């Protein structure tokens, strides 16, 4: 489990297809100082997707992505040198400054607008209408693993507001119009819809 508070940016060092395993792939990410104390079997959020460490050497961690992960998250479009958001897994006793993020990506969103405003940047993201129904106005949402608050909620798109700190320290400061992002709906929003409507 994670909180959506990004601890730093990593860099994709290697991506290779796993032979004989469909669309599965292995990825190596340079975590820098965030690799300190990391062990094989630990979980790390990479752009909001929970991955398991299968190898670690000199600050570079390797992960295996099953075909489902490659197909249904924006990790499948990463290339060498890309920067990625990093968050180590939550430990008992840690402060939860964002919201509870599972690292189970619900879908891929597309950035359709990025407008600078006074002291903030408004980011518009379009994604599947089947996911929009779970979004709560002014509620939480994880975009590329970043805990954000929904500002506008329309039929097939939402907006979030990004402060300069977030732009400077996450992938959302790098990505522009047309960029792909991982979307995880707030767990509480999903449960609320289930309880109130009896529907998934």
**Mind listing the pLDDT tens digit for each residue in 57-90?**
999 999 999 999 999 999 999 999 999 999 999 8
Asked whether the domain spanning 107-197 has the same topology as the one spanning 8-88, the reply is yes
**Of 59, 24, 63, nearest in space to 46 by CA:** 63
Q: Distance between CA atoms of 157 and 129, rounded to whole angstroms?
A: 8
CATH T-level assignment (fold) for domain 107-197? Elongation Factor Tu (Ef-tu); domain 3 (2.40.30)
The highest-confidence range among 110-114, 116-120, 125-129, by mean pLDDT, is 110-114
Mean per-residue pLDDT, 166-191:
91
Q: Give me the chain's average pLDDT, please.
A: 91
Domain ranges of the chain: 8-88, 107-197
**Mind listing the pLDDT tens digit for each residue in 29-61?**
999 999 999 999 999 999 999 999 999 999 999
Q: Does domain 8-88 have CATH number 3.30.2130.10?
A: no
**Of 20, 109, 130, nearest in space to 67 by CA:** 20
**Mind listing the pLDDT tens digit for each residue in 123-157?**
999 999 889 988 988 999 999 999 999 999 999 99
């Amino acid at each position: 489990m994670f909180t959506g508070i990004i601890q730093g940016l990593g860099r994709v060092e290697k991506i290779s297809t796993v032979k004989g395993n469909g669309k599965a792939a292995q990825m190596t990410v340079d975590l820098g100082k965030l690799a300190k104390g990391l062990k094989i079997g630990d979980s790390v959020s990479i752009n909001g997707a929970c991955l398991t460490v299968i190898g670690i050497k000199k600050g570079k961690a390797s992960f295996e992505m099953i075909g489902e992960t490659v197909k249904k998250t924006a990790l499948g479009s990463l290339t060498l040198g890309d920067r990625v958001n990093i968050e180590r897994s939550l430990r008992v006793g840690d402060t939860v400054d964002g919201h509870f993020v599972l690292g189970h990506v619900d879908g891929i969103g597309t950035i359709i607008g990025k407008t600078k405003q006074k002291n903030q940047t408004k980011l518009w993201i379009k994604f599947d209408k089947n996911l929009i129904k779970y979004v709560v106005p002014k509620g939480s949402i994880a975009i590329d693993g970043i805990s954000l608050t929904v500002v506008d909620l329309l039929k097939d798109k939402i907006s979030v507001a990004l402060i300069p700190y977030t732009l400077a320290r996450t992938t959302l400061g790098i990505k522009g119009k047309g960029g792909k992002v991982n979307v995880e709906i707030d767990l509480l929003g999903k449960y609320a819809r289930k309880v109130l409507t009896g529907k998934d």
